[in-house]
Structure 1
Amino acid sequence: MAVTDGDAVIYFDGTSSRRHAAALAFGDALGIAVDGETRATWAYADIRRADSAPGTLRLSCRTAPPLARLEIRDAALAAELASRATDLDEHHIGRRGVAKIVGWSLAAVASIVLVTFYGVPLAADRLAPLVPESFERRFGEVAEKQVKLVFGEKACNASPAGQAAFDKLVTKLRSAAGMDTSVQSSVMSSDIPNALALPGGKVIVFDSLIAKANNPDEVAGVIAHELGHLRNRDNMRGLIHNGGTSFLIGLLFGDITGSTAVIFAAQTLVTSSYSREAETAADTFSIEVMQKLGRPPKAMGELMLRVTGKEGGKGLTIISTHPLSEDRLARMSREDQTPKGPPLLTDAEWQALKDICGKGKV
């Protein structure tokens, strides 16, 4: 029996918070005595090191009560026990263990990044065409409510002549694009010059965009571009892509509740943000539709440049989700042709379209 004085050995039995000055007996197992009475016997193979302050060896035992602890402040006793309890640090992570955990963690992060940039887009491309149209239409209804919530429910219906001109323009574009009458289009009042394609075949044009246009061809090119997004189902592809990507980002940052995915999906619905590839494909669709109508494709590019101004040098264009307006105009100008088809609208119809929201002719 190794008898100790004072606080050299302190024993907590795990059933109360009382400190017991203890003595240790090193035999086939570790004996712990308090006031000359053996209170516990710990097998050396079951003794493990616990966190402790410098100069103190704190121990627990796998077969003892969970809160039982032994604190040894005598260096000689601590060394003696450590020589017998060979599994003292079995549950502690050594340098090799830390390196292994770090390695696997980095591998997990790398795999998530790879799936985010390559796997999710590939899955979105494969899954989008499989989504039933009825399901997509329900998404479109939700998206339309979000748009009206953000921009206000300000559908333009003040000018029957303007609505008739808009319907005529959309009908010509839809027919040239080979799309059926399920495509729904409308004009909303907003100070933001933009147009949106929503899931389920909905196109919304803001009157500020029409106000900036100089002729029907410019508006027609933009609407044809949005029809291209509908034809290619870019909305559903974006929802799947952004939802899946945000979920993986949640894994990286600890949000696995899916709330981030919902936020990203809602953002996609309202902003209609597409990849460069999707934007380029929609531009191609617009060019083809305008050429079928015998109208100049570059008209859309001229309107976009007028709306955005020159974008070159404004930032990191490599992360931009759309082609630069200058590049877009240059490409459409290369595809341009002398107008061979009749004007899409008469002068009177064009003026009526410009005043579709009843704000006065621009």
Structure 2
Amino acid sequence: SGPFAFADLVAGDADMTPPSFGIRRIPGWKIQFADHVPAAIAARLPRHARYGRVVDRFGLWPSVAAFGVVAALLIAGVLNAPPLLARMIPSSVEQRIGTIMIGDFGRNGCADPAGEAALQALLQRIDPDDAAIEVSVVKLPMVNAVTLPGGRIVIFDGLLADAKSPDEVAGVIGHEIGHIRHHDVMESLLRQLGLSVVLGGLEGHVGGYTNALLATAYSRGAEGRADGYAIDLMREAKISPQPTAAFFARLGKGAGKAERMLSYLATHPVSADRAARFRAAVKPVAYRPALDATQWHALRSICRATKGEQGWRF
């Protein structure tokens, strides 16, 4: 059945001594050397596998280096994919997700007419050019605000109770609008939960998705961009950023308290630098309060007729 060329040989069982070789496309054919193989012949024989095909072909350390480069590229892709994908998701999909998620707040929504009118007046004051943003208040005691997909901002009643002025709330809303403009909400969900956010099954996991937004802190970069956007909005609206600086400073003092775990600090890390940035944005101009005294009272009382739910689902 011969003759055969050296190129036809394939390495056999590496554990056999002396080693054996087979022939391509001829099952069961085997040749084995009974004694020492001459160097001239050994140089032409196929090598037995040591690590695996790819590693044996290129060598151990070149393969390790190549795998390291591939791993680094994969990690970079995973880290950079959410910002890119977040900008590619259609607004209709974001709206659907936001509509489902806001329903997870159950009957905690506050709907006092005077309070709602004051809230809309505040939104118009801080961002008069975008009618697509929706702001609502829920009767929950935590000092928090969360932005949902589809341009929806939810303010917790606990934040209104803690705020010392409407200008503080204006700064928070401006900051949340910044997260909307920079697609930080969808990026956060994609980073934590992957493409399952937009690929079906949302209705069955909505509580987990909303909880992810409440438990996942934005990056320092995202917070810095949102702060800058809020400062720009407040400058255009002639609202002083000093009260927002005081709000952040006040929250920062309680950063280590257990009751802050579900507070604004959980999703928006507060630092002295952030408060200082708002203080530095104060200019010698004629600022006007974000709301008048009557509107501010109405906004803080927006949940007075709301009983809320004892069994909060988060």
**TM-score for both structures, normalised by structure 2:** 0.69
Are the equivalent residues in 1 in contact too, given 2:22–2:31 (CA < 8 A)? no
Matched length: 282
Q: One-letter code of the match for 1:87?
A: L
- Report what 1:161 is aligned to: 114
Q: CA deviation at 1:279?
A: 2.3
Secondary structure, counterpart of 1:299 in structure 2:
helix
Q: Distance in 1 between matches of 2:9 and 2:36?
A: 14
Secondary structure, counterpart of 2:109 in structure 1:
coil
- Report what 2:263 is aligned to: none
Matched, 1:352 2:298: yes
Deviation track 1:65-85 (CA, whole Å, cap 9, x = no partner) reads 2xx37596xxx6154599757
Matched, 1:327 2:291: no
Q: One-letter code of the match for 2:151?
A: G
Are the equivalent residues in 2 in contact too, given 1:198–1:269 (CA < 8 A)? no
Instruction: Tell me: CA distance 1:264–1:108, structure 2 relative to 1, closer, same or farther (3 Å).
Output: farther
Q: How does 1:247-286 map to 2 (within 5 A)?
A: 260-262=194-196, 270=213, 274-286=218-230
Are the equivalent residues in 1 in contact too, given 2:218–2:269 (CA < 8 A)? no
Instruction: Tell me: CA distance 1:148–1:304, structure 2 relative to 1, closer, same or farther (3 Å).
Output: farther
- Report what 2:311 is aligned to: none
Q: Distance in 1 between matches of 2:29 and 2:252?
A: 70
Instruction: Tell me: CA distance 1:325–1:99, structure 2 relative to 1, closer, same or farther (3 Å).
Output: closer
Deviation track 1:318-362 (CA, whole Å, cap 9, x = no partner) reads xx99674311111111222578344333434323322322379xx
Q: CA deviation at 1:222?
A: 0.4
Q: CA deviation at 1:206?
A: 1.8
Deviation track 1:87-129 (CA, whole Å, cap 9, x = no partner) reads 2327765485223322322222333455566x658x839x93x
Q: CA deviation at 1:170?
A: 1.7
Matched, 1:181 2:134: no
Instruction: Tell me: CA distance 1:322–1:193, structure 2 relative to 1, closer, same or farther (3 Å).
Output: closer
Matched, 1:77 2:77: no
Instruction: Tell me: CA distance 1:140–1:298, structure 2 relative to 1, closer, same or farther (3 Å).
Output: farther
Q: CA deviation at 1:283?
A: 1.5
Instruction: Tell me: CA distance 1:339–1:189, structure 2 relative to 1, closer, same or farther (3 Å).
Output: farther
Q: One-letter code of the match for 1:77?
A: A
Gaps of 5+ in 2: 200-208, 257-265, 307-314
Q: Distance in 2 between matches of 1:333 and 1:264?
A: 39
Are the equivalent residues in 2 in contact too, given 1:218–1:300 (CA < 8 A)? yes
**TM-score for both structures, normalised by structure 1:** 0.61
Q: Distance in 2 between matches of 1:162 and 1:267?
A: 25
Q: One-letter code of the match for 2:273?
A: D
Q: How does 1:44-83 map to 2 (within 5 A)?
A: 45-53=7-15, 55=17, 57-65=19-27, 68=28, 70=30, 77=34, 79=36
Higher RCO (CA 8 Å, separation ≥ 6 residues): 2
- Report what 1:110 is aligned to: 72
Q: Distance in 1 between matches of 2:239 and 2:37?
A: 94
Q: CA deviation at 1:233?
A: 4.3
Task: Select the residue among 186, 189, 202 that pairs with 2:152.
Answer: 202
Q: CA deviation at 1:192?
A: 3.8
Are the equivalent residues in 2 in contact too, given 1:276–1:321 (CA < 8 A)? no
Q: CA RMSD in A?
A: 4.3
Report the structure number with the largest CA radius of gyration: 1
Q: Distance in 1 between matches of 2:74 and 2:37?
A: 48
Are the equivalent residues in 1 in contact too, given 2:135–2:154 (CA < 8 A)? yes
Q: Distance in 2 between matches of 1:280 and 1:235?
A: 15
Q: CA deviation at 1:297?
A: 0.4
Q: Distance in 1 between matches of 2:303 and 2:151?
A: 23
Q: Distance in 1 between matches of 2:111 and 2:134?
A: 19
Task: Select the residue among 76, 80, 84 that pairs with 1:124.
Answer: 84
Higher strand residue share: 1
Identity of aligned pairs, percent?
27
Instruction: Tell me: CA distance 1:289–1:89, structure 2 relative to 1, closer, same or farther (3 Å).
Output: closer
